[in-house]
Chains A and B, each alone.
Chain A
């Protein structure tokens, strides 16, 4: 197995993701203490926040690749940007679903339109959701790649706004855990959170590379089909 994973970095990444996901689940349910304020439902925090941060990371990665496409004309950057945004949208769906469940058990509501953090995340999610409408409404080629790259770059402005909204807003129903004074939780909680975040990031990175490999294979097969026609 060792030499096989050395030859195939994707297999090593997938194994690491599996290990970290198993470790995080074990820590969340068997190690971390129950929160004194929210009780058992606070355990949603260890999946909701890492999933949300992963969505932000992939939207930002998609925008970075879009910039590389426009600036350096990096080959494959358009495809990487598209796959990263796809991952961001998947993790965005998970953020909204897990967040809604947490909101219902903690605040008694599935959704609160008065919460700017929630609304801004929804705006960010819908903005990147519309990216696919743009991409599939234009014929493949350099024009589509340029248009999608510009669109992906516009969206990145929403990331810091969405992230900082809760810190700038005064209506604090949504909890603030990470402040300028550091994380507002015990050491064991912070350790569990870090493991969960690493698990989500490696899981998303694995899915990103698998999807990217599939897309590359698809385009090579299309090229081969054209050559054989």
Chain B
């Protein structure tokens, strides 16, 4: 088995912590972007519904 010294363990821990914190940060940002995307989809749907309702109203207006 590969012998690992105490110094090597501490160095690995220091670099591992930095990597882990950056990874968690990126994951949080990715989750947030997912939420924003869902919100954007919802708002786009709402605008589309509104437009369709308006178009229907226009069709129903009697001319003359």
Contacts and interface: CB of A to CB of B under 8 A. Distances in A.
B22 A203 contact: yes
A101 B13 contact: yes
B5 A211 contact: no
Interface string A38-56: 0111011001100100000
Interface string A87-104: 000100110011001101
Nearest to B47: A228
A224 B36 contact: no
Given A90-B25, A93-B21, A101 B36 contact: no
A41 B47 CA distance: 59
A228 B5 CA distance: 62
Interface of B: 5-8, 10-11, 13-15, 17-18, 21-22, 25-26, 29, 32-33, 36, 39-40, 43, 46-47, 50
Interface of A: 25, 39-41, 43-44, 47-48, 51, 90, 93-94, 97-98, 101-102, 104-105, 203, 207, 210-211, 214, 217-218, 221, 224-225, 228
Contacts of B10: 41, 44, 101-102, 104-105
A40 B36 contact: no
